[in-house]
Amino acid sequence: MPYTSNEILQTIRMVEMEALDIRTVTMGICLLDCSGPTVDQVANNVYEKIVRAAGNLVPVATEIESRYGIPIINKRIAITPISHVAAGCDGSDYVPIAQAIDRAAVQVGVNFVGGFSALVHKGFSVSDKKLIDSIPQAIAATERVNYSVSVGSTKAGINMDAVRRMAEIVQQTAQLTAEAGGIGCARLVVFCNMPEDNPFMAGAMHGVGEPERVINVGVSGPGVVRYALEKLGPEAPLTDVCNEIKRITYKITRAGELVGREAAQKLDCEFGIIDLSLAPTPAVGDSVADILEIIGVEKCGTHGTTAALAMLTDAVKKGGAMAATRVGGLSGAFIPVSEDAGMVAAVKAGALSLDKLEAMTSVCSVGLDMVAIPGDTPVDTIAGIIADEMAIGMINNKTTAARLIPVPGKGPGETVEFGGLLGTAIVQAVNPFSSTGFIRRGGTIPPPINSLKN
Amino acid sequence: MGDLITVEQIDVMPAGGQLTLTPGAIITPAARDAAEARGITVLEAGAAAPTQAPTVAPSRTAGFRASEIPAAPAHKNGPEQVIVTAVGKNRPRILSEITSKIAELNGNVMDINQRILQDYFTTIMIVEISGITGDFAGFKQTMESISQPEDYRVSVQHEKVFQYMHRI
């Protein structure tokens, strides 16, 4: 036999018992040819372009899924930042465009479209302002559109006016979707060093340097890594742990590579990148926190967690880089708090605080993700949390993001149920002391000097 | 660019009617569902007469436009093979049930490996499917439905996934 029975059974076990899946096949679509003089015309153009370009995405992905026996959980679309696409049109807000994107998503059968975005890390254009002002209304009026704003980069520094404005937008969005626990904020993310080819939501977009259409793939597999480490046993030295993680992520990523190549060929577009992220789901066992606990920290968040996470993230990249033709996107370990059952348990046990989470994001992708905070958190405090996270990204030359959910009417320790892939969140306490003096100054934090590294 | 068929176009058509797609037309999955719900028959461009079937991939998958998808590239490393795996509680006749179904579909068993551990068996077969009746999707569906999961379970996967995952 060309394969040993152990190899064949390993693949089958990974899928059936260890939750191996392709987390997302995301088609990037360039919308730069969709501009128009009125907002309605832009909305029509955008709708038509998305439906034409991605009409076959879902059927093709479904067929690949059946051919190789590996589930593809999400089929998604990333589009050119709408602040570029809509820049030429009149109209005071872009809500009709968001609604058109929502209709297109339903039409082609994808669960999310990302790219209702603006890049303001160095300042606002008129269109950027209109887009950002539209976000709360647009989120309330749509179900499948995702919103992201780049407010900082290592080259440009941090636009603190944008940080403060985004804190207001987060708070307004939570209010507008209050009856569902502020869930609108789950589709809104603020970035530093935003990647242009990220296939994961809520931050997916199709950058202006990208081709006309492209397929990007996000792999998954915390459950598979966890199982492999369990088998390795608690006595194995960390060197062996790293090697095992590399071996297993190589295999996971190869499955993604196969799916990406095949999808790109069948959809007649380019194959872009594989995002080497360990993306958890609320399913028991499919958790990044569980991996850290198997490596040896009693509860995720205790001392040693940051070091273990740094090692894990690096090993995942090393294993994946060899398996993929091109790597991109976020490529790190995701720790979306509500979506990872182990993280939720760690918060519940009091092991994982907001401060520790922030420290962990300095060694892994992708920031404070799906963190529920009290609904009455002042805007300046939200801005302070975002600014801290952006600073970690700016100084360390990496992508960081903040997806915060101020849950209306809830305080620290209370639980909020978002449902489905978004999971359950426990509201985390924020620091009671004010950030107002710092935030109210406005202006820009200049980009760092890069030669004096410490 | 070809025609674009969305739910809106389907909604204005008379129920129970017929929609013939022009070559290169795109029909969205939602439109296909709407057509089905209203009893509208969708005819593909140059709809495949039964005689020209085997060149292209699945037509059975819902919403899948066989005519738009290029056929898989010619296999450089020999014929197209799938891995058929069956796992379950051991009893007589299992192997014969599986192999006779493969024979019925005109598959060609290239290699076989079976292990029995206590009461359970695992059978792995490499089956060449270049000459099968119908397409891959049909083969997979028929094979996977020969048994109930509580008896034994059959799964069919294209060989390439193992090649990618286990060979550098």
How confident is the model over A333-352, as pLDDT tens digits? 888 888 889 999 999 999 99
Domain boundaries, position B24: 4-68
pLDDT at B46: 60
Q: Confirm whether B75 is domain-assigned.
A: no
Average pLDDT over residues A99-126: 96
Tokens of A428: 């985390």
pLDDT at B96: 92
pLDDT at A41: 96
Q: Confirm whether B32 is domain-assigned.
A: yes
Q: Confirm whether B73 is domain-assigned.
A: no
**A11: nearest CB among B7, B28, B165:** B165
Q: Which residue of A has its CA nearest to B62?
A: A59
Cα B116 to chain centroid distance, Å, stands at 29
pLDDT at A6: 87
Please tell me whether residues B162 and B99 are part of one structural domain: yes
Please tell me whether residues B107 and B56 are part of one structural domain: no
Average pLDDT over residues A240-244: 95
In chain A, which among 132-191 make CB contacts under 8 A with chain B?
A: none
Q: Confirm whether B153 is domain-assigned.
A: yes
Q: Which CATH number do you get for residue B161?
A: 3.30.70.260
- Cα–Cα distance, A55 to B29 (Å, whole number): 7
Average pLDDT over residues A19-29: 92
Q: Which residue of B has its CA nearest to A53?
A: B26
Over pLDDT 70: what percentage of chain A? 100
A310 reaches B (C-beta below 8 A): no
Please tell me whether residues B63 and B98 are part of one structural domain: no
For the stretch A138-165, pLDDT in tens is 999 999 999 999 999 999 999 999 999 9
pLDDT, greater one: A443 or B22: A443
**B166: nearest CB among A7, A52, A67:** A7
Distance, in angstroms, between B49 CA and closest chain A CA?
Answer: 22
In chain B, which among 63-122 make CB contacts under 8 A with chain A?
A: 63-65, 68-70, 73, 83, 85, 111, 113, 115, 122
Q: Where residue A280 falls among pLDDT bands split at 50, 70, 90? A: confident
For the stretch A309-334, pLDDT in tens is 999 999 999 999 999 999 998 888 88
**A1: nearest CB among B26, B111, B140:** B111
Distance, in angstroms, between A73 CA and closest chain B CA?
Answer: 17
pLDDT at B47: 53
Domain ends where: B68, B90, B110? Answer: B68
Q: Confirm whether B147 is domain-assigned.
A: yes
Contact B4 A51 (CB under 8 A): yes
**C-alpha torsion sign, points B152, B153, B158, B160:** negative
Contact B137 A63 (CB under 8 A): yes
Give how far Cα A329 sits from Cα of A275, A316, A416, Å. Answer: 5, 14, 30
- Cα–Cα distance, A273 to B151 (Å, whole number): 42
For the stretch A195-215, pLDDT in tens is 999 999 999 999 999 999 999
pLDDT at residue A117 tops 60 = yes
pLDDT at A206: 97
Q: Which residue of B has its CA nearest to A323?
A: B168
B31 reaches A (C-beta below 8 A): yes
pLDDT at residue A445 tops 90 = yes
pLDDT at B78: 61
Q: Confirm whether B52 is domain-assigned.
A: yes
pLDDT at residue A259 tops 90 = yes
Distance, in angstroms, between A49 CA and closest chain B CA?
Answer: 10
Average pLDDT over residues A127-137: 97
Domain chopping of chain A, boundaries? 1-334
A366 reaches B (C-beta below 8 A): no
Please tell me whether residues B100 and B24 are part of one structural domain: no
B58 reaches A (C-beta below 8 A): yes
Please tell me whether residues B130 and B152 are part of one structural domain: yes
Domain count, chain B: 2
Contact A1 B166 (CB under 8 A): no
Q: Confirm whether B76 is domain-assigned.
A: no
Average pLDDT over residues A161-186: 96
Please tell me whether residues B53 and B87 are part of one structural domain: no
Closest to A116 in 3D by CA, of A58, A169, A157, A155: A169
The CATH number, out of the four listed (3.20.70.20, 3.40.50.150, 3.40.605.10, 1.10.600.10), of the domain defined by the range A1-334: 3.20.70.20
pLDDT at residue A53 tops 50 = yes
Contact B64 A255 (CB under 8 A): no
Please tell me whether residues B160 and B88 are part of one structural domain: yes
pLDDT at B28: 86
What rounded mean pLDDT belongs to chain A? 93
In tens digits, chain B (168 residues) has pLDDT values of 678 888 888 888 888 888 888 887 888 888 888 888 888 888 877 654 444 433 334 333 333 343 444 444 444 456 789 999 999 999 999 999 999 999 999 999 999 999 888 889 999 999 999 999 889 999 999 999 998 878 899 999 999 999 999 988
Distance, in angstroms, between A2 CA and closest chain B CA?
Answer: 9
Chain B contact probe: residue of A7, A18, A63, A212 with most B CBs at under 10 A: A63
pLDDT at residue A122 tops 70 = yes
**B122: nearest CB among A9, A56, A258:** A9
Q: In this structure, are residues B89 and B131 in contact, taking their beta carbons and an 8 Å threshold?
A: no
**Coil/strand/helix, residue B53:** helix
pLDDT at A332: 81
